[in-house]
Amino acid sequence: MWNSAVLDVGIGLALMYLLLALVCSVVQELIANITSWRGRHLLTSIKTMLNDPNLTGLAKRVYADPRINQLTLPGKLPSYIPPAAFAKALADIVADEKGMTSSVFDGPLAPFVREAQGDADKLKAALEQWYDDAMDRFGGWYKRNVQLVILAIAAVVTVGLNANTIEVARQIWAQPALRAALSSQATRLAATDKPDALIPTQDASGPDVNAVLGEIDQNLPIGWTTADIDRLMFGTTVATSADGKVQNVALSKGERAWAWIKHVAGWLLTVLALSLGAQFWFDTLGKAIGIRAAGPKPSEKQDAAG
């Protein structure tokens, strides 16, 4: 039962989703690195925490602290600030302002300063906990934004590669040799420890996206064909006449509309699947491979039937 064509189709689709989701993740990481997305998000979060929207008060002083500004290259924003470094930076600011009339003791730090009652260690511990709690909240906001970006990237990748779930499933179902090749490829990739291991490092600058695209090109039945372009863009298809001549035939409005509906539906299924992420499809593929491996081999089935 577990060697059925249905399971093989599922494995093939999971493999496609995994590889395309990896491409989306790589593109998203490249965008985040180029735009300092994480760093800007962290800065916005800290400005909100410290009630310093214009970066002229506490947030500016925190980022000027040597513990913070040395976390990244000059001119770059740190994408992560350790809680201890954040707490120590604020504790030093409080110590510098001690005994002075300062907005520090009237702003967001006031409750922590009062509760610490002059105990520096207690103040640092409270500030660390405050930072951790705030980053949990702001982290959820960041993940939602990332999910929206991933959806946009997934749409571009899906349409660009013509990764039509419906058509891919049809081709895998119709071609036993393709099913076998995809199952073999999936088994090999599922043997890695985690999906990130499927993206080898090209050099110190980052991942080798071409390696993932090579895996995609290996067996997956995706990509634009002349027939797809003619059918969708020009409303024509190739047909053989009664005398054996091959010629372009115009599709009716209904046929062309149906072709678009099938493609758009297939693309939407792919985009929704990619939004689940590479880790989800890596785990799903591993489970499917495990189920397939647990079933009897075809020869054993035949022996049992005999």
Q: Is residue 165 part of a domain?
A: yes
Q: What is the 3-state secondary structure (H, E, C) of 79-143?
A: CCCCHHHHHHHHHHHHHHHCCCCCHHHCCCCHHHHHHHCCCHHHHHHHHHHHHHHHHHHHHHHHH
In a shared domain, residues 116 and 193 = no
Share in percent of the chain as helix, strand, coil (round to 5): 70, 5, 25
Q: Is residue 233 part of a domain?
A: no
In a shared domain, residues 89 and 179 = no
> Which of 93, 119, 150 is where one domain is finished?
150
> Which of 150, 183, 204 is where one domain is finished?
150
For 10-40, what is each residue's pLDDT tens digit?
999 999 999 999 899 888 888 888 888 889 9
> Which of 95, 120, 150 is where one domain is finished?
150
102: left (phi over 0), alpha (psi -120 to 50) or beta: beta
Question: What is the residue-wise DSSP string for 14-55?
Answer: HHHHHHHHHHHHHHHHHHHHHHTHHHHHHHHHHHHHTT-TTS
Average pLDDT, the chain: 84
Q: Is residue 191 part of a domain?
A: yes
Q: Is residue 234 part of a domain?
A: no
pTM value is: 0.76
In a shared domain, residues 282 and 186 = yes
In a shared domain, residues 45 and 168 = no
Nearest residue to 236 via CA among 264, 256, 261: 256
Contacts of 87 by beta carbon, 8 Å cutoff, 6+ apart: 123, 124, 125, 127, 128, 131
- Determine the structural domain holding residue 18 and report its residue range: 5-34+153-223+254-305
In a shared domain, residues 161 and 262 = yes
For 220-262, what is each residue's pLDDT tens digit?
889 998 888 988 888 888 777 666 676 778 888 998 999 999 9
In a shared domain, residues 136 and 161 = no
For 154-186, what is each residue's pLDDT tens digit?
999 999 999 999 999 999 999 999 998 998 888
In a shared domain, residues 273 and 185 = yes
Q: Is residue 61 part of a domain?
A: yes
